Structure 1
């Protein structure tokens, strides 16, 4: 499992655990499937920002399962 800080590791359709903006103080994780990659830079120290299929946006903490 990758930690989601490198953009090339993130694929559309991958299952990931993200931290939503409102959950940053607690670090609560939300699981979902990547619909769009929002970070343009190749890396980000806090995790690549993505939009999940349900519309929620957050930074990846763990890539659970890559899209096949």
Structure 2
């Protein structure tokens, strides 16, 4: 498992845990499968922003082993 700060480590279809905007203070994680990668830069210190297949948008905190 790796953190989600590098865009190259995240692909569509990957299982990830993200933190939603409203959950940033609590750190509550939401699990799902990546549909789109929204961050354009190669890295982001708070995690790469993605859209899950469920439509939720948040920053990747954990990339689960496939």
Deviations 1:12-38 (A, max 9, x none): 000000000000010000000000000
TM-superposed deviation, 1:40: 0.2
Structure 2 partner of 1:13 = 13
CA RMSD of aligned residues (A): 0.7
Q: How does 1:1-68 map to 2 (within 5 A)?
A: 1-66=1-66
Query: Structure 1 unaligned runs (5+)?
Result: none
Question: Post-superposition, which runs of at least 4 consecutive aligned residues in structure 1 deviate over 4 A?
Answer: none
Structure 2: gaps spanning 5 or more residues:
none
Aligned pairs, number: 66
The secondary structure found in structure 2 opposite 1:22 is helix
